[in-house]
Structure 1
Amino acid sequence: MQNSFFLVKETSNDHALYYFNNYYLVVARLKEKLPVGEVTDYQLTWLTNETCVLVYRSKDQALHQYIGTYGGRKIAYSYVLSNLTGSWVSKDGRTSLTSSGATGVVIQANGEVEKYPFEQAKQFGTTALALNDGKNAKWSISLNSENEYNDQGDLLKNVQTKIILLKAGLDEPQKVELYFKQ
């Protein structure tokens, strides 16, 4: 496993945010300009050793997220939503995620149910997904880096198959591990 770093730079002239990818050892190259500049606060959380989430508040007080992914199972492309199809539950049973073609993504946490149509999901790399409600970032989802895949690149789902869920926020991040149920 390579050592990864997450590098975002805010320019002083226009306050735009730029994300840089690892290139070679400590050399980085510009990947893209993040859609929102003038950040007032931020939180950085590693979900797995291949997935890092930047949650940040913009000047208009909206919450945004950007996910840096590293690794990606050495495949050209994979749809994270396809790999999420089914039911996923935390070990304590208090948090769950259900995904299907008919419902989109449904998350139950702390007694609340949140529904996200597929249009509110944005994929990052081949391992992560961000859910938004149109104005604010809501959740980040990452496939666990230790999951197994078949020769076609499809996720092998069993009771050990795991995803990591993170509620978007600037407080102390609470990652939740969810396991495939059915």
Structure 2
Amino acid sequence: MKLITNNLIKVVGWSLFLLAIGSFGLQMGYLFVHERFQIEYIDNRLFYMINIFCIICLALAILLLLRLNKRSKIIGTSVTGIIIIAHVVLLIDSNQEIKNITSISPNFKHVLSIKENTENGNAIYYRSYYGILARPKERLPHETVGEYKVEWLANDAAAVTYKAADNTIQQFVGTYGDRGTGRSYYYVGAEMHGQWDGENVEVISNTAGISVTENGDTELFDWDNIHQFGTLAIVLKKHNEAVWTISLNENFEVHPTASDSTVGNISLYKATMEENEPIILWDAGTGSLSQ
């Protein structure tokens, strides 16, 4: 029985040691690609979290694999605790300088990542290409202040609502998919032409622009005030301020010819910092939600 216990301790100890070595190798690899290719962790806090994980695994491995006296164990535990506390402090301090806004999609396939420089309000949208690694894709067009609100309108479209330095409400949409073949660019407004109905809401897309009727009040947004993100979403603006976001739901089908009937739904999402839910709309020609 004692032999089995000793063998189990050794297996666990060596497993922890290998995890520590693997974590260390990951960090060394990250430092190399970061310096060479400007690649970053999708959330800067991951660097310190992985370091803490590596230190804990190494400390436990040493305790399990080596026969240490009481004094050595106390010293080792104290040193480990100090290093971990130092990393926690660095983690908190890092997030105060660069604020990380990270959100995982409902199907866990995509990660929205925005990093804001808290000193000047500049925010950069990062695109994940390598799992937990990412590269900067574009700068948000407005300097930001305050909090961000993230809402996944679909598994591949995330609307980010934030307050800009000029006291306006803005929306940015991170998109990670396509409703067509993926081989060509298309315009969301053109694909959703026609009338769309929802609960106390009506949306019409035509040559004049897109009109939104909510509780009987209609507002028209001409095409100059409609900004597209990827091939999944558009933001409707008035006086340089976001008012609505419209996204194509996952069941929406983009057809190669305009004569094909519309299949699928769209979502309408109001630009507000208050809690709200997207409204699902259906093509007025079908009269019901698509499955």
- Give the TM-score, by structure 1 length: 0.89
Query: Which one has a bigger Cα radius of gyration?
Result: 2
C-alpha separation between the residues in 2 aligned to 1:153 and 1:50?
24
**Where does the alignment leave 5 or more consecutive residues of structure 1 unmatched?**
none
By percentage of residues, which structure has more helix?
A: 2
C-alpha separation between the residues in 2 aligned to 1:173 and 1:156?
33
Instruction: Establish whether residue 27 from structure 1 lines up as the match of residue 133 from structure 2.
Output: yes
Partner secondary structure for residue 268 of structure 2: strand
Match of 1:169 in 2: 272
Partner secondary structure for residue 98 of structure 1: strand
Match of 1:144 in 2: 249
Instruction: Establish whether residue 125 from structure 1 lines up as the match of residue 125 from structure 2.
Output: no
C-alpha separation between the residues in 2 aligned to 1:123 and 1:141?
10
Tell me: CA distance 1:27–1:64, structure 2 relative to 1, closer, same or farther (3 Å). same
Aligned residue identity for 1:79: Y
User: Over aligned residues, Cα RMSD in angstroms?
Assistant: 2.0
Partner secondary structure for residue 6 of structure 1: strand
**Pairing of 1:1-182 with structure 2 (within 5 A):** 3-73=109-179, 74-90=182-198, 92=199, 94-101=200-207, 103-150=208-255, 152=256, 157-158=261-262, 161-182=264-285
- Provide, for residues 74-107 of structure 1, a one-character-per-residue CA deviation record: whole Å limited to 9, x for no partner: 23311111112100001x4x11100111x31010
User: 1:174, CA displacement in angstroms?
Assistant: 2.1
- Provide, for residues 100-121 of structure 1, a one-character-per-residue CA deviation record: whole Å limited to 9, x for no partner: 11x3101011221111011110
- Provide, for residues 94-151 of structure 1, a one-character-per-residue CA deviation record: whole Å limited to 9, x for no partner: 11100111x310101122111101111001001110001023110000011122233x
Larger RCO (CA under 8 A, 6+ residues apart): 1
Contact 2:144–2:162 (CA under 8 A) maintained in structure 1: no
User: 1:161, CA displacement in angstroms?
Assistant: 1.9
Aligned residue identity for 1:31: K
Contact 1:58–1:64 (CA under 8 A) maintained in structure 2: yes
Contact 2:160–2:172 (CA under 8 A) maintained in structure 1: yes
**Where does the alignment leave 5 or more consecutive residues of structure 2 unmatched?**
1-106, 286-291
C-alpha separation between the residues in 2 aligned to 1:49 and 1:82?
22
Tell me: CA distance 1:157–1:43, structure 2 relative to 1, closer, same or farther (3 Å). farther
- Count of residue pairs the alignment pairs up: 177
- Give the TM-score, by structure 2 length: 0.57
